[in-house]
Amino acid sequence: MEVGQMQSRLADYTKSLFMEGILDAQFLQLQQLQDESNPDFVVEVVSLFFDDSEKLLNDIARALDQQCVDFKKIDAHVHQLKGSSSSVGAQRVKNACVAFRNFCEEQNAEESRRCLQQVKQEYYLVKNKLETLFTLEQQIVAAGGSVPMIELSF
């Protein structure tokens, strides 16, 4: 596949992520911040988000497994996850966190467990999509091309 085709494929793939609501405008902000002085900025920030999220998801799961569920602690974790997903533009993860926090407030353990599954699902989805996106970018760069800036009108 030649570079032009790879670039179109990447553009289409990226656009689909926005259309499906998996990513929002904040992700574009990250891309716009990437420059020659920080050529791997997006990957770096997203990697921090992945590390953070996985730890938080584990902490939440563990807390929900306790005899006496500490909803305040869980809410704090979900708040953090909401914040970091919001910062990278992972819209569906963020929205799932918002729903989760409502059940934390109600101290509803069963619904909270369901929400955790929902958040995990959205998280693994965005992780998978972003890893694919980064791979497509790497392929273009490896073939000597450059990654075009996506033009999107909202």
Partner 1 sequence: MMDSTCAHSSSSAKVMENGEQPHVLAVDDSLADRKLIEKLLKNSSCKVTTAENGPRALEVLGLGDGQHNNLEGRISKVNLIITDYCMPGMTGYELLKKVKQESSIMKEVPVVVVSSENVPTRINKCLEEGAQMFMLKPLKQSDVKKLRCQLMNRRS
Give residues in contact with partner 1 (CB under 8 A). Answer: 26, 29-30, 32-33, 38, 41, 44-45, 48-49, 52, 76, 79-80, 82-84, 86-88
Distance (Å) of CA 77 to CA 1, 33, 111 = 44, 27, 16
- Rounded to a whole number of angstroms, the minimum distance from the CB of residue 143 to partner 1 is 28
Q: Toward partner 1, which CB reaches closer, 52 or 111?
A: 52
- Rounded to a whole number of angstroms, the minimum distance from the CB of residue 60 to partner 1 is 16
In angstroms, the CA 132 to CA 12 distance is 13
Q: Toward partner 1, which CB reaches closer, 30 or 60?
A: 30
- Rounded to a whole number of angstroms, the minimum distance from the CB of residue 100 to partner 1 is 14
Best CA proximity match to 1, nearest among 152, 150, 143, 100:
143
- Rounded to a whole number of angstroms, the minimum distance from the CB of residue 139 to partner 1 is 25
Q: Toward partner 1, which CB reaches closer, 98 or 143?
A: 98
Best CA proximity match to 122, nearest among 139, 150, 99:
99
In angstroms, the CA 46 to CA 151 distance is 21
Under 8 Å between Cβ of 72 and 29: no
Q: Toward partner 1, which CB reaches closer, 8 or 70?
A: 70
- Tokens found for residue 125: 């989805």
Q: Toward partner 1, which CB reaches closer, 88 or 147?
A: 88
- Rounded to a whole number of angstroms, the minimum distance from the CB of residue 35 to partner 1 is 8
In angstroms, the CA 132 to CA 127 distance is 9
